[in-house]
Homo-oligomer: A and B are copies of this chain.
Amino acid sequence: MVRKPAKSHVKPDVKAASTRKPNMREAILAAAEELFSTYGFNAVSVRDIAQAAGANPGSVTYHFKTKDGLLLEIYRRHCGPMNRRRSELLAAARRVRDLQDRLEAIVRAYVLPAFTSGSDLAGGGTRFTRLRAIMSAEGNEVVRKIIAQTFDDTSHAFIDAIHESLPHIPRTDLVWRGHFLLGALYYTLVTPERVSRLSRGSADGTDAGHAIEELVRATVAALQAPPLDQPRKAAGASPGRALT
């Protein structure tokens, strides 16, 4: 780990946060997830992970062979549950009658699992999404393939669902706006302090629920915006007209 706020004297508490079973494999996995999602893949060494998990560096190699293998296993653990939950919520959202409510439900179905996805660890979804954000920024080659073949299907399903609710907007624009949504989501999880710093001393800003609501509200409005080939002015942006 290149540089990190002084913490060499604190005990490794990542293991304690887990289920406390003497399952080293799980402890290593949890520690790696926490460290990767905080400092990035390149900045964290295998020895850092081992120490945080209370394990020997050799154990990491034993269980996961390589550092890349460790990262791969983390993704395998989360991608399944997260996409499954997204599919469930998306299916439920599709059944919403009111067009406005349906669009909002679709967006929520995409955002929610990123914060609360199914891991036995507390705050698991947030941590994994933060990890994905960092990995996409670092351009990690190992991850790029998993993303392409795991998340693109999900993304297509959501774009399709949105396109059904907003048929008058070209797919290209919806793809862009979905792209912006993902960027906003990532950035929100990567820099949790920035919002509270720009706001004038309001709440602590770490309220995930509030962040989700703000993100959903903004995204729904962005999706409903008139496409680029239409003039912005007049009543074009009014959902009342746009969704008729």
Binding site for B on A (CB under 8 A): 2-3, 5, 38-40, 42-43, 100, 104, 133-134, 136-139, 141, 148, 152, 155-156, 159, 171-173, 175-188, 190-191, 194-195, 197-200, 202, 210-211, 213-215, 217-222, 224-228, 232-233, 235, 237-240
Contact, CB under 8 Å: B217 / A221: no
Contact, CB under 8 Å: B177 / A214: yes
Inter-chain contacts of A141 with B (CB < 8 A): 3, 5
Question: Within the assembled complex, what's the spacing in Å between the Cα atoms of A240 and B235?
Answer: 7
Inter-chain contacts of A171 with B (CB < 8 A): 199-200
Known: A134-B138, A185-B183. A228 touches B214 (CB 8 A): yes
Known: A134-B138, A137-B138, A172-B202. A232 touches B215 (CB 8 A): no
Q: Which B residue sits closest to A222, measured CB to CB?
A: B218
Contact, CB under 8 Å: B155 / A179: no
Contact, CB under 8 Å: B217 / A219: no
Shortest distance in angstroms between A121's beta carbon and chain B's nearest beta carbon? 21
Question: Within the assembled complex, what's the spacing in Å between the Cα atoms of A214 and B175?
Answer: 10
> Can you list 19 contacts pairing A with B, beta carbon distance less than 8 Å?
A3-B141, A5-B141, A38-B139, A133-B137, A156-B198, A171-B199, A175-B195, A177-B218, A179-B184, A179-B187, A179-B194, A183-B183, A183-B185, A210-B228, A219-B222, A221-B224, A222-B222, A237-B237, A238-B240
Q: Which of A141, A185, A220, A225 has the most CB of B within 10 A?
A: A225
Known: A232-B100, A237-B237. A137 touches B40 (CB 8 A): yes
Known: A137-B134, A179-B184, A179-B187. A228 touches B238 (CB 8 A): no
Q: Contact check: which of B180, B199, B217 meets A215 at CB < 8 Å?
A: B180
Shortest distance in angstroms between A232's beta carbon and chain B's nearest beta carbon? 7
